[in-house]
Structure formats: C-alpha cells, structure tokens
Amino acid sequence: MFAGHSHQHAFNSFQPTTPEGLVLKSRRNMLKASMAGLAGLSLPGLMQRKAEAAKSGEYIANGKSVILLWMTGGASHIDTWDMKPDRPDNNRGPFSPVATKVPCVHICEHFPLQAAMQDKITIIRSVDCRHSNHEPNMVMQTGFAGAAPRSNRKGDRFPSIASLCSKFRGSNDASMPPYVAFMKNHSHIAFAGDAGKKHDPFIANDAARLPIYDLLGNDTGNKSSGNRFALPGQLSHERIRNRQELVSGFDRLRKEIDQSGSMASLDTYRQQAVDLLIGQKAQAAFDLEQETADMRERYGDHLWCQQTLLARRLVEAGTSFVTLDLSYHSASGTWDNHGIPGGVYGGISKGLKPLLPLFDRLFTTLVSDLEERGKLDDVLVIGMGEFGRTPNMGTQGSQDGRNHWQNCMSMVMAGGGLNHGQVIGATEQDGGNILERPVTPGDLAATIYKHMGVPLHEHYIDGSGRPNFIVENGAPIAELF
C-alpha cells in the first residue's frame, strides 16, 4: 500500500516481507521489496489481464479511447447548456445565452469557444440522474442506478465504466495503464469494485510536475513531485534488470515442480511489469516538457488545463480511459454551487462563473488539438457531473445558489467518430424535469462501450458469485451512431 491508496496493489502476491524458498534474504527479499515498492505505482495487473482477455476473445484493439472531464459537484444545467432566458430571474439565472454555430442552438455566454465549434459537439439536455449522488460519485460513472453508497451500502461494489473497459478491452498499448485518473479525492472517482482491484485507476497526481492549488482554487506556487516513476532508494534501471535476472534464475529451479504452468506465466507477467515500470513510454507520456512551449501555452498554465494536455498525451501513448477530477476542494466538489453563506463554493455568480471560461478553454482546446492530430474520431471527449441544480436560485439561505437536482442534467460530448452538431432531448419550460428523450446512466454506459468495442452482453461476477451484465436498462444513444 502507499499513502492515499488504501487498497492492495497488483504486486501483493510477491509477499515482499516474507522469506521463501532458497532464502538468500538480503538479495531475494530485497528484490521482492523493491518490486513491491515499484508496484506502489498502482499499475493494475495490466499484463496478465490483457493476456487473459485476449485468450477469451474479449480484447478488441480498435484504438479508441475516452477522456472524461468530470465536473465534480454537479454543474448547473440551466446556467450552462440548457438556458431558460424567457423565465423569471430567479429561474433563468444571471447569465445570458449566446448563439452557436448550429442554428437555433444557444448556450451560456461564458462558453464562446464551444459556441464557435458547436457543429463538433453534442449537447444532451435530458440526462436522467434521479439515482445519482456525490461523495462518492458513482452512478453516472458506472451506469448503474444502484451505485450510490449513500443509499445502498453495497453501492461501491459496482464497477466504473472505465474499469470495465479495462477489464474487457484493456489499453491500446501494453506499456500504458488502461485507466488513469487525476484525483482530488477518492470519493470523486469511481473504482473497480467487484471487477477487481487490478482494474482500479492508476492515480497519476504525482506522475507529472503539476501546480498545486489550495481548496479554494488558488495556486500555491508549489508543484507536485512528479516522482511516481522514481525507483526506490539507490536502485537504477540496470540493477532492477540484474535483480530480475537473479530471481529468474531461482525460479527456474521451481519450474521443475510446477505442474500447472503458473510459474511460467508469472515470469512473463513479472518481466512485462518490469519493462513497463522502467521503460520509457509511460514516463515520457507524463513529461509535459516534451510538448512545445506554444502547445503548453495553448492549453494554459492552470492545473486543469495541464491535466487536460496530459490526458491527450496519455491517450496518444495508448491509455484507453482518462478521468480528470475537475475540483479544487476535496469534499463534495467545486461545481457544488449552493452559495450557502459562509460556504466555500459560492453561488452561480461567484462560484460557477469563474469555472465556465476555464472549462470552455480546456474542452475546446482538447477537441481542436485532437482534430489537428487526426485523433478526434478515436477519442470520445465527455464533459459532465453527477446531477443538475435546482430550477430556482436562492436555496439554503443563499442569494443565487442552487441546490442538488437529480431530476435532470445536461452534458456534452465531442469526438469518437460520432454524429455531432446536435442537441439531444429537452427539459420542461423551467428546466425542472425531462420533457422528451430521457437518457439514462445505462444509455451513457452502453454508448461508451459501443465506442470502445466492448460487447454489450458482457458481464462481471459480483461478490456473491452472481453474474451481472455491464449494461443496466440502457442502449447506445441512437442519435450518435
């Protein structure tokens, strides 16, 4: 285990503190301890899983990937993509609509860059988020209505969409982890649950040098260590290779009495793990210095913008699913704009308004960058949170805050080779309920799986040994295909 990562990692089977076989404690167990330390990277058993998936015909290397821009806390749909300009002020909010490149489609004035490329974007205004909650954020990231630990004590056992993509599909390059997340708090990201810990995300916060922000979004002037790939102690790449050769020599003695072939497999996966951990591709993907100064400036210096650039680098290198936790605060999330007096998030004017141009920049820069690189048809970019906000402002003693609203929400998509330049669904006049074309969490999950080439009939086994289909009450969103 390592700090901030409470569960076991994929190398626990090495039993680094336990002497075994030909003891040679100082070398054998030093190697094991070193490998277990390296496993603190939390790389999720990638090699063995990919081999198992390929053997069963599950893995489909179609080169597709997903970048999820998670607006932690639940962005107000009425103040972003589903504006109600003809309603009374306490419903319509303080912002004005702006025309987009698609006729008759209007969005928030603080999204001018999205408005200019609306023909490449799909807005879904009728997302059914009735079962969703936050802390932890599960339902919309899993596609399962029951995945809300606040109301279901086993809610955290439902695997994330990203984890099931890891399980049934894997990465696009064996040297890259399939599921990567930049995470402000464990409760903001959905994990693998019953799909198995090896499909948990690789938490990448310290894999690159990134600015550190305080809970209110102020740049502290400090940067994260970026040493996630550093070897423990004085170990060099050469010494790791030498130690791998040493343990391989001892293991050859054990193969003669191993009738199952498991040792041969372990050798293969261990060697691949060493190649991954001390290889160059993953480390290079997290190195922003390899980008030109112009490209780094294009994305911007803000933490979320740099993480977005890293997300592009990761999918380009072969990671298949990247989630960005867009939150400064480690509690319910920066987009939780209640506006409660004395609260940290602010209401719509103070709390939400500064976030909108920032999201507009990172979303559109990512889309245009992917298009220029010829990758936009391969990468599905999604922007959303866990629910919407109340139709009327002034909740909880605030002046312009909005409370949680689980009846409906809006989200955006771009890329993935899908049909864009459209609005799917609609809400009622005040934005309080879905009027037409509800899109369920299961529909969203099925859409992502179809994009990724994951068969919709697949299932995973839960803790009680029962099979569960990966899609619950959903189908791919037909308008997109």
Enumerate the domain spans of the chain: 20-48+231-285, 58-229+290-480
What would the DSSP string read from start to end of 238-269? HHHHHHHHHHHHHHHHHHTT-SSSHHHHHHHH
Whole-number percent of the chain with pLDDT over 70: 77
pLDDT per residue as tens digits for the range 117-164: 999 999 999 999 999 999 888 999 999 999 988 888 888 999 999 999
Residue 415 pairs in a beta bridge with 380
> Model confidence at 62, in pLDDT bands (50, 70, 90)?
confident
Give the type of residue at 270. R
pTM, two decimals, is 0.82
| Rounded distance between C-alpha atoms, residue 210 and residue 313, angstroms | 15
Q: What is the pLDDT of residue 231?
A: 54
pLDDT per residue as tens digits for the range 304-346: 999 999 999 999 999 999 999 999 999 999 999 999 998 899 9
| Rounded distance between C-alpha atoms, residue 39 and residue 277, angstroms | 8
DSSP code of 439?
B
pLDDT per residue as tens digits for the range 401-422: 999 999 999 999 999 999 999 9
| Rounded distance between C-alpha atoms, residue 476 and residue 144, angstroms | 15
Can you give the length of the chain in residues?
A: 481
Give the type of residue at 376. L
Q: What is the pLDDT of residue 282?
A: 85
CA distances, 424 to each of 118, 141, 381 (Å): 13, 20, 16
In 179-218 the beta strands, taken as DSSP E runs, fall at 179-182, 202-203, 211-213
**Alpha-helix residue ranges (DSSP H) falling in 373-418:** none
* CATH architecture for segment(s) 58-229+290-480: 3-Layer(aba) Sandwich (3.40)
| Rounded distance between C-alpha atoms, residue 345 and residue 388, angstroms | 15
DSSP code of 455?
-
The burial class, CB within 10 Å (0-12 / 13-18 / 19+), for 280 is: exposed
Query: In this structure, are strands 388-389 and 404-405 parallel, antiparallel, or unpaired?
Result: antiparallel
